[in-house]
Structure 1
Amino acid sequence: MRTRGVSHRQAECPVARTVDLIGDRWSLLIVRDAFDGIRRFSELQRNLGLAKNILAARLRELVAQGILEVVPAADGSAYHEYTLTPKGRELFSVIVALRKWGETYLFEEGEPRSTLLDTENERPIRLHLTDTTGRPISAADTFVRKVNAHPA
């Protein structure tokens, strides 16, 4: 969700296109809150401490891009709610990766923080990347094939 500067919406790099759409902090935090079950505008605003005009703009863009959808309130009231679409739910691993990195590098030993737990056993989750055969991989095991790459 670019507010100024260069747009990467036509970039050949999937990371650039993704960051252009959801890379600002407010959009990512809205998606995080949606995963946490926060669905109403007023609840999002209260939780994020975000100005109404900025929240409204981010929500419009997330809806326009098919990440969130507007649905009638679950309680039958006249309000509406924002829920993740299947496309939005696919951002779960992105949010988890950011969380895990933050847990590792941004908290002191023993410092209180929220924890993501699995619902069945209430244990912390782990995030592992694997190739198509299930073999664990790291950045050292990968490379990016550029669109305009020429063979060496």
Structure 2
Amino acid sequence: GYASLTILELVEADAIDYTLTVVDSSNRETSVTATVEVQVPPAILLSPTNTTDIILSTVQLSCSSRGWPAPNITWLKDGAEILCSDAISISTFRGERQTVSTLVIGELKLENAGSYQCNASNELIIGRSVLSDTALITVLRELHYCVFMYRMYMYIIM
């Protein structure tokens, strides 16, 4: 005999096990199971957010992406890939269908100011990727302005 299963518009929810059971004329059952995997291009679930902080602070940016196979996430600063260093660490958790990545700048410096994005890709979109929204990191030298305003306020009152 011959049997077939056709799924016309494949969606992620169709990624399950399908079992075909055949009963012959002697009432004997034979079953075979096939697993359908649905490849899904990456999508950004959580983009990093704008951050303003002072020199030597610790800054953390997070990004999350979903897809099948689970996406790889890389980080970009002003369009160039960021590599780990003594000052910058990147930790990534890659689950079955989702990847979460965190970039930490240990001691913020003026040169860390700029535009940051995460870049998600998987085997489904080779040579292409999906970029998150841009997060701006602004680095303040110090909080002299607040101290200056406080001193002026105290001078006017006295």
TM range (shorter): under 0.3
| Structure number with bigger Rg | 2
TM-score by length of 1: 0.22
TM-score by length of 2: 0.21
Q: Name the one with the larger helix percent.
A: 1
